[in-house]
Amino acid sequence: LQQLMKAARQEVQELKDAENMVRFQLRHGNDLLAMDSLRDCDVNVKEQGRLLRQNEFLVWQGKGGKKYYRHVFLFEELILFSKARRFPDHKNLDLYIYKHSIKTSDIGLTAKVGDSNTKFEIWFRKRKPNDTFTLQSISEEIKQAWTRRIVEFIMEQALKNREMRLAEMNSMGIGNKPCLDIRPSANQISDRSISIAQLSKTAPRFRNSIAVSPSDQTTRNKRPHSIISVSSSSGGSSTSSGSSTA
């Protein structure tokens, strides 16, 4: 197909489409063979979505960690690290010994590390020094393909989280209440002033209207079933403690 495309005087889209299809089928076949060659794996890879990419990387964990060659699988829901070994009876085939894995919903990405065009980092969102993995590919093309996919995962997860928060707020009745109109109005209470003369005339009657009997006063002081909302103070304290923890 590549020779036909070179021989064609004009760009032929059908040949390009055919080449892309052949490349996809070859890669898909290699992906299936690689998945079947996984050993000692404690996760069901068939439940982790489609296998999107698989490549060999030079990997080290944390700062100054020992470097290893790892064959890494990128599923829709999982990044899996394995060590490649040769089949005893088939020297041209590899088997992959499972080492560890990370859920794609739990990771962050540093797309460029230093001045290198082939390195990137993945890390847990609750990052600790040893929770950072640096991966170095054999080409910039492979690195770009991986980082593009991981960025897509992170953006999709952020959108899902936002939709879940909005749905939760709506279920609690938050976010769909009409706003109050607090613009200046002729009916403002500040415009209804009372003169001192009027207040002195009505003061005795006002005091009599709010008089409370001694028995009622005693009952009120006890407040046996009163409820006080402390959501603001408790919410503030929990927020501050959460910030200090972070």
Structural contact between residues 55 and 146, judged by C-beta atoms closer than 8 angstroms: yes
- 131 token code pair: 């929770």
What is the model's pLDDT at position 210? 44
- pTM of full prediction above 0.85: no
What is the model's pLDDT at position 227? 31
- Which of 128-142, 169-183, 218-232 has the highest average model confidence (pLDDT)? 128-142
pLDDT at residue 1 is higher than 70: no
Hey, what domains does the chain have and what are their CATH numbers?
A: 37-171 (2.30.29.30)
Nearest-CA neighbor of 138 among 213, 23, 57? 57
Mean pLDDT of the 95-101 span: 92
Q: What is the share, in percent, of the chain residues with pLDDT greater than 90?
A: 25
Element (H, E) at 59: strand 51-61
